[in-house]
Structure 1
Amino acid sequence: MITFEFPLNERIRRLLRIEEIYQKFEHQLKNTHDYFEFGCFNTLFEIVQLVSRSDLKIDFLQELERQEKKQSTLIESQTLKEGQLNPKEIIPMIQVARKKLENIDVKPGFNFNNNLFLEEVKKRISSPGGLLDVDFPNFRNWATHKTRKSKLEDFKSWAKPLMVFKDAASIILLILRNQCHVESIKAKEGKHQQSIDPLKTFDLIRLELEKTLNIYPEISANKYTVNVFFNQLSEELKKEPVKLNLEFKYSICWL
């Protein structure tokens, strides 16, 4: 199965972006090919740009506090449903993430504690031509004489103060993906319209499809309905509507 997720507001879109960019960084650290460090530097600076917004820390702390209260209510009411996350396990995770966030200080313009080497790499990598040995012999010295293991240690050290945002986003998304109404649906001629309750606030739509179908969905939504259209790519990589009847799993989630 392959899962497609569609955020219904900017707050959830930002959470998904944070999750994906950290996943990309961790994947790049596992690469064994030459020049792997170029991708790692690019993604590291993308992470800084994404998480150094002044409002992000406040938003995360407020959401974690709200979720901790909700999970505590679930313990008191003892209304745990089958397959639902155990609040007694989630609450300690939330508390650890909150404490780490409260102790971190990542502001706009975060410069890795005045690390001049990283500042120079960041400046060079965004210039025309990117990071070139001819312009930056200091980088060539680092890339040539450092072992792969030593480079990985450097990247992990530089990223360490930023990992608290990954942890916070992961917990919030874990809770969100567990609070869903799920149903199996049959789409006719590659499209489907689903009614939603206008009195409720929803945050995320998830669609699960068989990989063998080799199609992808597009979604439009308002407070009353969700419209799903399935497409495929031609050999020229052009979008083509799918006219098949097909089954998929539909989930709508909320925090």
Structure 2
Amino acid sequence: MPSYDYPFNERIRTLLRLEDLFSKVLFNVEAGHEFNHHCALLSIFQILDVIDRAELKADLLQELDRQKIVMNGLLGNPSIAENVLRNVISEIETTSLALRSNAIKLGQTLRDNEWLMSIKQRAGIPGGVCEFDLPSYHFWLGLDADRRKDDFDIWLKPLLPICDGLRIILQILRGSGVTTNLVAFNGAYQQMLGGTKPAQMLRVELSDDDKCFPEVSANKYAINIRFNKLDFTERPKQCDVDVKFTLTLCNL
């Protein structure tokens, strides 16, 4: 089923952006073609820009430590599979150790690489990484794919603990909510929110047969979802039929 995540705060928004960028990096590195490796490198540059603007390491460690305490408190609960729980705790401990063992600023080894930073600077210019602009980069793209993958292994090594940490946190977040089956009459749905603990993210899932997508406007007081049809010639229009969907409110 197509699913759509909507974050309620900047912290979760940053994690979702990084998740998307890491997915693109890992896919394109594995694909191996020089065009894929070019796209992977551009995504790495975007990752550096995102983590530059956030106290990401401290936030990840704080949340991982909190989740470890919660998970340890669940050990011995007969309604929870203990082997699965222990695997999650082990993942949290391994990732936290990797993050703490890196004393320098996240991504600093890449920022200290003058060759990479020269490419990053040119990459901000439309068409700025042509072979006549950066012959050394053109030469690198022409190397054997395995050689380029070895370089990516070196560049990604200090960033992978971030990837592991946000993967664990988002997995816990997505699994935290209760899913409700709902209907958006004439493509519109509204829900007032209450309670002392506001949601941090919502998930909307649709049937494969529904030819529409949700646009979400939400805060701690209310959720508004409008389901639109895609029109390639003008702005999307709201569906004029009832749309069945599932809604999950997620909270760490």
TM-score (norm 1): 0.89
- What's 2:122 paired with? 124
TM superposition shift of 1:113:
7.0
Q: Write the distance in 2 (CA, Å) between the matches of 1:254 and 1:71.
A: 15
Say if 2:17 is the partner of 1:17. yes
Choose which of 89, 95, 98 in structure 2 pairs with 1:91: 89
Distance 1:221 1:119 in 2: 38
Q: Is 1:179 aligned to residue 176 of structure 2?
A: yes
5+ residue gaps in structure 1?
Answer: none
CA contact (8 A) 2:217 2:223 kept: yes
* Other structure's SS at 1:100 match: helix
SS state of the match for residue 247, structure 1?
strand
Does 2:148 align with 1:151? Answer: yes
CA drift of 1:150 comes to: 1.0
Name the counterpart of 1:134. Answer: 132
Task: Tell me if structure 1 keeps the 8 A contact 2:203–2:248.
Answer: yes
Match of 1:210 in 2: 207
Q: Quote how far apart the aligned CAs of 1:230 are.
A: 0.8
Q: Name the CA distance, whole Å, in 1 between partners of 2:125 and 2:103.
A: 28
Q: CA deviation at 1:109?
A: 7.5
1:198·1:223 contact (CA, 8 Å) conserved in 2?
no
CA contact (8 A) 1:51 1:165 kept: no
Runs of at least 4 residues off by over 6 Å: none
State the distance in 2 between where 1:183 and 1:45 align.
Answer: 39
Q: 1:234 to 1:132 in 2, by over 3 A?
A: closer
Alpha-carbon offset, residue 185 of structure 1 = 0.9
Corresponding residue to 1:198 among 195, 199, 205: 195
Q: Would the aligned equivalents of 1:54 and 1:108 in 2 still touch at CA under 8 Å?
A: no
Distance 2:68 2:83 in 1: 13
- Which one of the candidate residues 154, 166, 169 is aligned to 2:166? 169
Amino acid at match of 2:120: K
Q: Distance in 2 between matches of 1:205 and 1:137?
A: 46
Where structure 2 has 5 or more consecutive residues not aligned to the other structure, the ranges are none
Structure 1 segment 34-113 matched on structure 2, within 5 A:
34-53=34-53, 55-75=55-75, 78=77, 80=79, 86-107=84-105, 110-112=108-110
For residues 162-209 of structure 1, give each alpha carbon's deviation from its aligned partner in whole angstroms, at most 9, with x where no partner exists: 111000000001111111011111221111122332312211100110
Equivalent pairs, count:
252
Partner of 2:225: 228
Residue number in structure 1 paired with 2:31: 31
Q: Tell me which amino acid in the other structure corresponds to 1:140.
A: H
Q: Percent identity?
A: 30
Q: Cα deviations across residues 63-102 of structure 1 (Å, max 9, x unaligned)?
A: 11111111111225x16469x9943221111111100000
Find the aligned partners of 1:17 and 1:79 in 2 and give their Cα distance: 37
> 1:244 is matched with which residue: 232, 238, 241?
241
Q: Which moved more, 1:155-164 or 1:117-126?
A: 117-126
CA RMSD of aligned residues (A): 2.3
